[in-house]
Amino acid sequence: MSKARRNGLILIVLSGALSVLWGLHLATTVPGGALDFQGLYFGTRCLMQHCDPYNLRELDAELSREGFKDPAETPQRHQVKVLYVNVPTTFLFVAPLAAMPWEIARFLWMAAIIAGFMTAAILMWDLGSRASPGIAALLVCITLINSEVIIATGNTAGLVVSLTILATWCFLQDRFVWLGVLFFAAALAIKPHDSGLVWLYFVLAGGAWRKRALQSVAITALLAIAAFAWVTHVAPNWIPELRANLASISAPGGLNEPGPASVTSHTAGMVVDLQAAVSIFWDRAAIYNPVSYAICGILLVLWVFKTVRSPCNRASAWMAIAAVVPLTMLVTYHRPYDTKLLLLSVPACCALWAQGGRSGRIAAVLSAAAVALTGDVPLAACIVISKSVLPSTTGPLHTLMALLLTRPASLILLAIAGFYLQVFLKQRSASQASPWDAGPDASLPARS
């Protein structure tokens, strides 16, 4: 290992350790800790006790039996209510933990998230550092040091992002392929809106990658059949109840509503899809949804057209994935913890930097801005600044400042999606030199 790579690895481990310690400390500020996992755990225990977790009355009764007798307006009870918009397949993964005492289950869940996320980050750094050790370390360190919330809450995004990155690595590096198939199957079963477009790349690319992707979705389908049968047997009305829960939290002012009136709109946990940015100008779902879908739809059609016509090689694959990851965040509901999937853009960014020229410089600047402006600390800083700046502005200036300070994640995701897509569309060579075709030392000329 070269000195640059060794130093980069040390920085990454230190950044990850700091984020983990900070995240675990934040978790202690909530009674019981791991707030998002509380909903998963007690909801699954409810189902295992033959009660309906999608029915608030039955879930409340289960919480009372477990000793959670807080008033309904407390953050704990509110969060549990919100979290049971998870798809039924999630129960299958949480059930083994739900059979254990809370403290043991929480420890194992958090350990899985930390281990998976750190492994995924190191693998993306390893690939990127073959072309540019400095840029790879910079991007991964910024990501890790701004990932406290994903650890503190125990959100499923921590697991799904890790599984998606690990599965992609397995497929593209042609190593532990059977694990990659299982990882993608699990990611699709828990949060398909995080992993779905990355999985779609492998379907469109064809060859062995398509076969593996289809194997993954076949396993997901089997899991879905089993989960739906279980939930339907216990809670036959779960589908209308789930729809009602989704409608409730997506209504104006609701937790998942992207508009300015949402309870999380002016917090670091803001919604980051494109609807959130458009809503600053037109705070009506009848407007911001069609506008967002039209923009994302055009970009996605161009991406699909190029993908099916591109050579099936790693250089093309990493660039295609770098383009579709930010699109994943823009199309539909996502929060900052989902954007850690941007780690998948590190190899493409480093390859462009190693080639030199304007594209490499733009890639480095935009990628660094993307992982920073979707990170926990910068977003919190933007919100703090907005509370002092926005009340003193009016008219178009107020709208512009609200867009920049309360929707920076949506804007940078759109910028980086457009950039990597245009690079992908211009890619021509089927035999382009790739830093991932051999070992760490068989790479493009490295620039630090």
Please say whether the beta carbons of 190 and 159 come within 8 A.
yes
DSSP state of 236: T
With a cut of 70, say whether residue 376 has pLDDT above it: yes
Q: How confident is residue 389, by pLDDT bands cut at 50, 70 and 90?
A: confident
CA distance 65 to 102: 14
Residue 319 lies in a domain: yes
What range does the domain containing 378 cover?
264-428
Query: pLDDT (tens digit, 9 = 90+) per residue, 46-85?
Result: 999 999 999 888 887 777 777 765 444 455 445 445 447 8
Please say whether the beta carbons of 62 and 51 come within 8 A.
yes
Query: pLDDT (tens digit, 9 = 90+) per residue, 305-355?
Result: 999 998 888 889 999 999 999 999 999 999 999 999 999 999 999 999 999
- Mean pLDDT to the nearest integer, 286-304: 96
- Mean pLDDT to the nearest integer, 166-172: 97
Residue 239 lies in a domain: no
Residue 277 lies in a domain: yes
Please say whether the beta carbons of 52 and 58 come within 8 A.
yes
By percentage, how much of the chain surpasses pLDDT 70? Answer: 91
Q: How confident is residue 438, by pLDDT bands cut at 50, 70 and 90?
A: very low
For residue 245, give the amino acid letter. Answer: N
Q: DSSP 3-state assignment of 381?
A: helix
Distance set, CA 156 to CA 28, 92, 228, 290 (Å): 19, 13, 19, 28
CA distance 273 to 413: 9
Residue 13 lies in a domain: no
For residue 70, count CB atoms less than 10 angstroms from its CB and return exposed for 0-12, middle for 13-18, buried for 19 or more: middle
CA distance 425 to 36: 39
Residue 163 lies in a domain: no
Residue 310 lies in a domain: yes
pLDDT at 175: 94
Take residue 359 and report the two structure tokens written for it.
């594209």
Please say whether the beta carbons of 271 and 334 come within 8 A.
yes
pLDDT at 265: 84
Q: Which residue has the tokens 């809450």?
A: 153
pLDDT at 30: 77
pLDDT at 433: 52
DSSP state of 313: S
Q: What angle do CA 369, 374, 375 make, to 5 degrees?
A: 100
The number of residues making up the chain comes to: 448
DSSP state of 244: H
Please say whether the beta carbons of 46 and 58 come within 8 A.
yes
Residue 167 lies in a domain: no
The larger pLDDT score, comparing residue 93 to residue 447, is at: 93
The larger pLDDT score, comparing residue 413 to residue 244, is at: 413
Residue 419 lies in a domain: yes
Please say whether the beta carbons of 185 and 68 come within 8 A.
no
Total domain count for the chain? 1
pTM for the structure as a whole? 0.92
pLDDT at 442: 39
Please say whether the beta carbons of 340 and 384 come within 8 A.
no
CA distance 141 to 8: 9
